Structure 1
Amino acid sequence: MKAITVSLLLTGLFIGIFSASQAQILDSPRDGIYDKIHVSEKKPIPYTPVREADVAWKKRIWRTLDLRQKINHPFYYPTTPKKEWKNFMTVIMDAIREGSITAYDPTKDDQFLVPLTYQEIEKKFTSIDTVPVYDPQNPQHVLRYDVITEDFDASSVERINIKEDWFFDRQRSVMDVRILGICPIQNVYDENDNFLGIQEMFWIYFPEARPVLAQAVVFNRHNGAERRTYDEIFWKRMFGSYVYKEENVYDRTIQDYASGMDALLEAERVKNDLFEFEHSLWEF
């Protein structure tokens, strides 16, 4: 009887010590001076409802965000997730894997027609390489070939395409813009890391992605206490971009009819046309 009692006491003591040690591991110190709960509870700012009858003028524009530009660095860094910090591409891929965002096939235009699963995206953009394993006793003899799968590298996405509609709402008497879709552009390399070109990965419907982007923290280089999100960055137009297409009867991009300096000037013309149209609506 004494042996059973001692055994039970030792077991209880061991469980208590183990539970305490586990609590110490799980309850890590707070990395900061306050609990960060603001961003996790954020929701996207709702759009003002727009009726077809209220839109007096509209133009569709396609833009490219070059993430190598300094103003766009918050979209690109960190290349490796660090606690609450994730770059834009990591946030998107995680949301697609969880089913929070739907990806659409870019080969079927940018009209969000054919959905893609995460498995299809992973299969297409995950690199697979075959590496020979040589015999140590006979370096000329190959024992076997090992298949190495490299996970998707978020840093390979250095550009983002955006489709947006600019319109004049005569009900509110304002010039407004709504982003409709976002398409990541991946760099393509060969087996020797030589740059081959770029390719569209998929399109996502921006209004569907806003709840996810509204809870993804973006680094603020000016004030660490102001927690901006990707949704706010897009809402406030805090990014640099250039126009690569405006809607036209030929459905052409600027590169289809202009190149070099002419293409840059044409992109600036499209931006200036938007500015001049808004400016001409008012008299001072």
Structure 2
Amino acid sequence: MKKLFLILFAIILASAATKPVAAQVVDGPYQKKITRDRKPAPLPAVRESDVFWSKTIWRIIDLREKMNQDLYYPTREMHGRLSLINLLLKGIKEGQITAYDASTDNEFKLPMTFDQVKEAFGAVPKVVERRNFETGEMENVKVDQDINPEDIKQVMVKEVWYFDKQTSTLQVRIIGLCPIQEFFRDDDVNHDRPLRRKVFWVYYPEVRPLLAKYEVLNPNNDSRSLSFDDVFLLRKFDSYITKESNIYNNRAISQYATGQYATNESRRIKNEIFNFEQDLWEY
């Protein structure tokens, strides 16, 4: 009996030795660990008594612009990198961050589940007619729809500009991000009339730890790339203002101006914020 056990043990060892062992694949000369262990840079504390002027601004980042394409690509995961929208969806699906309803207001009141996010994308199950190959009869079948992250063409940013009298500087804090989906109606066969809708809001201070762990591509140096959090903190994106806080229920510029007038109004708000700090000084 003991000899039989030894023979079986030897056979198991021999078979294990003949199996190929998969090598640990490192896509490069070293394994990247610094980025995934990175934490968001701490921001200075702000006291309410030190802020004597502030203005809430909403702006649009168009991901189709050349300067902003590092937030749009890659459309699928490559070398551990994700696009901004894919990263946000990953965080929502895994429960790392919370999505908030964007259909009613911009105040982060109503949390959303991942299924509700899919519904906001329009990725709801559809009933299609298919033939049953067993019976040969046509029947209605429910088909699940997937989210298409490439439909996100813009990102709305809610931020607060404020003057800190303790440091005598004009500062800005991002409050939230809202992906905007571009879609077409079913009857718009030629896709001539694109429509847009806000999908969900995320609270930026909650999202920062996730954004700090993922890099955007540096086209000049792969080993020195900024994180998504760095891109937003350093303002390395192009955008235009669409709304400022006002007494008219925070109405958007598009509600009272169009075309070149809307562009001029956006620039007026931008210059007003810039000139506020400059006008405090005497030269």
TM-score, normalised relative to structure 1: 0.90
Q: Report the equivalent of 1:228.
A: 226
Contact 1:62 1:246 in 2 (8 A): yes
Q: Report the equivalent of 1:94.
A: 90
Instruction: Give the Cα separation in 2 of the matches to 1:65 and 1:151.
Output: 25
> SS of 1:182's equivalent?
strand
* Residues 1:175 and 2:176 aligned together: no
**Structure 1 pair 135/115, CA: closer, same or farther in 2 (3 Å)?**
closer
Contact 2:118 2:124 in 1 (8 A): no
What is the number of equivalent residue pairs in this alignment?
Answer: 277
Instruction: Give the Cα separation in 1 of the matches to 2:5 and 2:230.
Output: 64
Instruction: Give the Cα separation in 2 of the matches to 1:179 and 1:276.
Output: 20
Q: Report the equivalent of 1:37.
A: 33
Q: Report the equivalent of 1:109.
A: 105
Q: Report the equivalent of 2:147.
A: 152
Contact 2:160 2:172 in 1 (8 A): yes
Contact 1:164 1:181 in 2 (8 A): yes
Contact 1:108 1:114 in 2 (8 A): no
Q: 1:65-214 counterparts in 2 under 5 A?
A: 65-125=61-121, 126-134=123-131, 143-191=138-186, 192=189, 194=191, 195-214=193-212
**Structure 1 pair 182/78, CA: closer, same or farther in 2 (3 Å)?**
same
Q: Percent identity over the alignment?
A: 35
Contact 1:132 1:142 in 2 (8 A): no
> SS of 2:22's equivalent?
helix
Q: Report the Cα offset of residue 234 of structure 1.
A: 0.2
Instruction: Give the Cα separation in 2 of the matches to 1:150 and 1:119.
Output: 11
> SS of 2:144's equivalent?
strand
**Structure 1 pair 165/154, CA: closer, same or farther in 2 (3 Å)?**
same
Q: Report the Cα offset of residue 111 of structure 1.
A: 0.8
Q: Report the equivalent of 1:54.
A: 50
Q: Report the Cα offset of residue 34 of structure 1.
A: 2.4
Higher normalized helix content (fraction of residues) = 1
TM-score, normalised relative to structure 2: 0.90
Q: 1:62-102, CA deviations, whole angstroms, 9 ceiling, x for partnerless residues?
A: 00000000000011001111131100000000101111111
Unpaired segments ≥5 residues, structure 1: none
Contact 1:39 1:227 in 2 (8 A): no
Q: 1:133-188, CA deviations, whole angstroms, 9 ceiling, x for partnerless residues?
A: 3589xxxx863344332311111100000110000000011110000011111112
